[in-house]
Structure 1
Amino acid sequence: MHYSLDFSAPLAYWPELLAGAWTTLALSLSATVFGFLLGVFCALTKTGHSVWLARVASAYVELIRNTPLLVQIFIVYFGLSSLGLQVGAFTAATIALVVNVGAYTSEIVRAGIDSIPRGQMEAAECMALSRWQTLRHVVLPPAIERVYPALTSQYVLLMLASSICSQISAEELTAVANRIQSDTFRSVETYLIVAGAYLLMSLVMRAIFWLIAMVAFPRLRRLGTPL
């Protein structure tokens, strides 16, 4: 059986594809920022002095890391509706991705915190620094620097995993592609185009993270290899 590739039909929908790609990036960047903040908070909680807060954070991390992302998206989307909170698919997808990536970020950042020598924190205490000052100036900067490549990979994977959000009709790239292939009957060509778009977005995100590292981490900037 002979099959000829014809990209003209799906490419005619380039405005919709571009809008879907933009939605994917917006969804991913929003989840990255808030997921990072949530993950750092949980990591600090797990390494703090409050036992019950550490247990709550640990339970959250284990629950999220051991359940599928798709199930989490459904719980957020349909669960909020059941509670009478009507939110759009984009908002529900963002919440689910933040909750998901926050758990993975927590474990990555916690590993970075655990890698800081105890002597550095004891020296900070000898200088009469408060706990917040110790975390802000002594612990978090080198900890995040050490795990930055792992965080970068995790957030790129998050962007790729956002394609699952098409299951709740979030108008991201994969949802747009599903609609285009049903209209054109050119499934192979449509998804090849989408695969190329995801590859390009992955490279763009890695470039953004590289620029952030060059600004935020002077030592890595001197080495020239932040990722």
Structure 2
Amino acid sequence: MQYTFDFSAPLAYWPDLLAGAATTLGLSLAATVFGFLLGIFCALGRMGQSAGLARLCAVYVETIRNTPLLVQIFIVYFGLASVGWKVDAFTAATAALVINVGAYTSEIVRAGIDSIPRGQLEAAECLGLSRAQILTHVVLPPAIERVYPALTSQYVLLMLASSITSQISAEELTAVANRVQSDTFRSVETYLIVAVAYLVLSLLMRVVFWAASYVAFPRRRRLGTTV
């Protein structure tokens, strides 16, 4: 039995697929920015002087890292609706992705902070720098620089994982593809097109992260080790 490929039918929906890809990028961008901030907060919270905050951050991180993303999305989407807070699918998907990637970012950033030599911190204290100055000028910049490749990979994986949000009807790329293949009955062609689209999006994100590292980390640029 031979199968004849016909990409013309799914490609006719290219405006819908392009809109879905834009939604995927929007989800990824929002989750990356807010997840990064949440991750830094939790990393500092777990290493801070407040035992209560450290335990709270640890519970959050371990809970998120040991439960499926799809379950987390359902909890956010249906949980908020059950308490009377009705939000659209895009907002719920963004919130769930932020909560998810924030936990992983926390552990990556914490590893970077742990890699800072103790002598470097003692030197900063001897210079009379405040705790906030030490964090913002001595600890976080080199820590993030060291784990930047890991963060880059995590956020690219986040973009690919955003396809799961199609389960709550978020109009991202996979959700659009599901609709296209049901209309055209060309499942193989549709998902091959979507696979190529995700590959292009992944490469695009890596180029953006490389450009960001080129600007943010001049030392890595001089050494030729930018992402």
Q: TM-score, normalised on structure 2?
A: 0.99
Q: Which residue number in structure 2 is paired with residue 8 of structure 1?
A: 8
Following superposition, the deviation at residue 225 of structure 1 comes to 2.4
Q: Which moved more, 1:122-131 or 1:159-168?
A: 122-131
**Distance in 2 between the 1:63 and 1:77 partners?**
18
Following superposition, the deviation at residue 224 of structure 1 comes to 2.4
Following superposition, the deviation at residue 124 of structure 1 comes to 0.8
**Distance in 2 between the 1:129 and 1:2 partners?**
73
Alignment of 1:157-176 (within 5 A): 157-176=157-176
**Distance in 1 between the 2:223 and 2:188 partners?**
43
Following superposition, the deviation at residue 51 of structure 1 comes to 1.0
Deviations 1:164-214 (A, max 9, x none): 000000000000000000000000000000000000000000000000000
Alignment of 1:54-203 (within 5 A): 54-203=54-203
Taking every aligned residue pair, what percent have the same amino acid on both sides? 79
**Distance in 2 between the 1:106 and 1:23 partners?**
26
SS in 1 for 2:170: coil
SS in 2 for 1:86: coil
Q: Which structure 1 residue ranges, 4+ long, deviate > 3 Å from structure 2?
A: none
Deviations 1:75-111 (A, max 9, x none): 0000000010110000000000000000000000000
Deviations 1:56-75 (A, max 9, x none): 00000000000000000000
Q: Which residue number in structure 1 is paired with residue 215 of structure 2?
A: 215
Q: Which residue number in structure 2 is paired with residue 19 of structure 1?
A: 19
Q: Which residue number in structure 2 is paired with residue 40 of structure 1?
A: 40
**Distance in 2 between the 1:104 and 1:132 partners?**
24
**Distance in 1 between the 2:48 and 2:120 partners?**
16
Q: TM-score, normalised on structure 1?
A: 0.99
Residue identity matched to 1:7:
F
Deviations 1:6-52 (A, max 9, x none): 00000000000000000000000000000000000000111111111
